[in-house]
């Protein structure tokens, strides 16, 4: 089991109390723009440039990891990872604010090279490199337009995410065996996310990410 996050981005909190809500608006909020479908109840095309203030919260990942030793030095590791991405947008002049939340499921394959450690001490220092393929399973876009006299309108769009996200990672790590084949690990990580036409997020704005993973491994 693993828990990870990364980046050097700050968080922003926004609060809105809508008077009207339109659900089921079809659109695609990507790194270039958000387009509302002509059949939706909103005819406005909302460009990402309409929001001069953009804040990405730290991504959060949860995963299940299995490690298989090939020999004394090298091991293969695969994991199933869920990632949550949260982005906030605001235009004070137009009195608009928006929220975009993305959910991904990914599978990675990494190779570990042990640098130091043995079974007697239970400690292991290693270097890891690998890649990951992720599929966006769900996105939620919420925009609030504020009007005078305390009135506002909220537009909500729940959509699927097309395409795949590819990335590579490099990480040093420390692993400590706690019981039989179970160990805990601490792993600072550098990730690079390729431009795969995915919705706007911390990854599209900052493709090079520095993260930190901690968790429990099950080895052979």
Angle at CA 99, nearest 5°, toward 96 and 100? 135
Q: Measured between alpha carbons, how far is 79 from 58 in angstroms, rounded to an integer?
A: 21
User: How many domains does one find in the chain?
Assistant: 1
Render the burial of 9-18: b for 16+ CB within 10 Å, e for the rest: beebeeeeeb
pLDDT tens profile 20-44:
333 333 334 443 333 333 233 343 5
Report H helices in the chain.
202-205
Q: 49: which DSSP letter? A: G
Length of the chain: 220
pLDDT tens profile 81-100:
999 999 988 888 777 888 89
Which positions ≥6 away from 210 have C-beta within 8 Å?
A: 6, 7, 8, 188, 189, 190, 191
Question: What's the pTM?
Answer: 0.76
Which positions ≥6 away from 121 have C-beta within 8 Å?
A: none
Task: Give residue 88's domain range.
Answer: 2-219
Low-confidence ranges of the chain (pLDDT < 70): 1-49, 219-220
Write the CATH number for 118: 2.40.160
Nearest by Cα to 217 from 174, 166, 172:
174
């Amino acid at each position: 089991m693993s828990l990870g996050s990364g980046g050097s981005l700050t968080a922003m909190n926004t609060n809105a109390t809508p008077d009207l809500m339109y659900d089921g608006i079809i659109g695609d909020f990507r790194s270039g723009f958000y387009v509302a479908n002509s059949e939706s109840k909103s005819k406005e095309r909302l460009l990402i440039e309409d929001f001069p203030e953009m804040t990405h919260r730290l991504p959060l990942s949860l995963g299940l990891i299995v490690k298989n030793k090939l020999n004394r030095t090298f091991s293969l590791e695969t994991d199933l990872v869920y990632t949550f991405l949260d982005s906030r947008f605001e235009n004070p002049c137009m009195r608009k604010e928006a929220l975009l939340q993305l959910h991904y499921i990914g599978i990675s394959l990494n190779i570990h090279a042990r640098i130091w450690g043995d079974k007697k001490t239970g400690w292991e220092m290693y270097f890891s490199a690998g890649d990951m393929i992720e599929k966006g399973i769900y996105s939620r876009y919420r925009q609030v337009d504020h009007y005078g006299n305390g009135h506002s309108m909220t537009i909500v769009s729940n959509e699927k995410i097309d395409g795949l996200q590819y990335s590579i990672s490099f990480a040093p790590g420390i692993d400590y065996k706690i019981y039989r084949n179970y160990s805990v690990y601490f792993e600072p990580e550098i990730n690079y996310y390729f431009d795969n036409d995915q919705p706007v997020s911390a990854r599209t704005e900052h493709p090079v990410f520095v993260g930190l993973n901690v968790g429990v491994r099950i080895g052979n």
